[in-house]
Amino acid sequence: MDDFIIKTSLQIQKPSHVVFESITNFNLLKNYFISEYKGDLDKTKHIIWYFNEFKFGVPIKIKTLIPYSTLIFEWDIKNFKTSVNIMVIPLNLNESLVTITEETIESSNKNFEWLKQNTEGWTFFLACLKAYLEYNINLRKGALHFLKFE
């Protein structure tokens, strides 16, 4: 059985530099995805993302940052260590395609729940990004408080 890999994409009606800035500028990321962060991308490659719904921070280790194009990081969420590749591809001057790939984790029944949750999570991330950039709406606010993560 092959390892699990997540891949999801969404087109956003904004220029690629605006989209990429919204993903890599943590003060902007707070408007639609994270609640807080610790670290400074300009000074360190180790960041912690915090989410209001969860009672833990998620350590992020930046591996590659190509301005306005690619962000690759590793993260460890409760012993699931994976690599996430976010690519922003300009389609024209005012449209971009954001593709997120998270890989790999061993294929097993136990890891299937991780695959399901993170696929949903990245799809929701893209929807939140699109709503924020195109309509200035924070879809995440109050949306996930029903979740009970310890």
DSSP string for 39-55: S-TTT-SEEEEE-TTSS
pLDDT higher than threshold 50 for residue 150: no
Mean pLDDT of 25-32: 90
- Minimum mean pLDDT among 20-24, 50-54, 70-74, 131-135: which range? 50-54
Higher pLDDT pick, 104 / 16: 16
What does DSSP assign to residue 60? Answer: E
125 falls in which pLDDT band (50, 70, 90)? very high
CA distance 77 to 60: 10
Topology of the domain comprising 4-135: Alpha-D-Glucose-1,6-Bisphosphate; Chain A, domain 4 (3.30.530)
The pTM for the full model equals: 0.89
> Which segment of 4-13, 78-87, 121-130 scores lowest on mean pLDDT?
78-87
